[in-house]
Amino acid sequence: PLTPTGAQTTQLLVEPPWRPAVLWDRVTLTCQGSGTATATTWYKDGQRWGQVGLDNITVSRSGTYQCDRPCSGLSPTVTVLNDQLVLQVPAWPLLEGDTVTLRCRV
């Protein structure tokens, strides 16, 4: 997405593309934004996290995740849960009038 000034913002993509993400789905997060992947900084639960310089990670612990790219900034937060029952929605933006598939996962 573009900001009002036209600069690209950092995005955090979730695979599989459902929110909230759940650990038992083997979640992969991919950081997309300006600059090189080696400049990516990852955050878990608001704290700088040891996975520096990678543009994608496979998540093994529940928490909230963000990534940062120097040229495009901090991504929105992605929450990864370890719940046994979860209602999921697609991870892409939805507009009024869109048909939505929900998933109840156990």
What integer pLDDT is reported at residue 8 of this predicted model? 65
Residue in the structure block whose two tokens are 């878990």: 44
- Reply yes or no on whether the pLDDT at 2 is more than 50: no
At residue 56, what is the residue type?
N
Tens digit of each residue's pLDDT (9 = 90 or more) over 55-99: 899 999 999 999 998 888 899 999 999 988 988 888 888 889 999
Q: Mean pLDDT across the stretch 17-22?
A: 92
What ranges do the domains of the chain cover? 11-105
Nearby residues of 75 by Cβ (< 8 Å), 6 or more positions away? 9, 10, 11, 12, 31, 33, 66, 67, 68
Return the CATH fold of 11-105.
Immunoglobulin-like (2.60.40)
Q: Quote the pLDDT of residue 3.
A: 47
**What's the pTM value of the predicted model, to 2 decimals?**
0.82
> What is the reported pLDDT for 50?
77
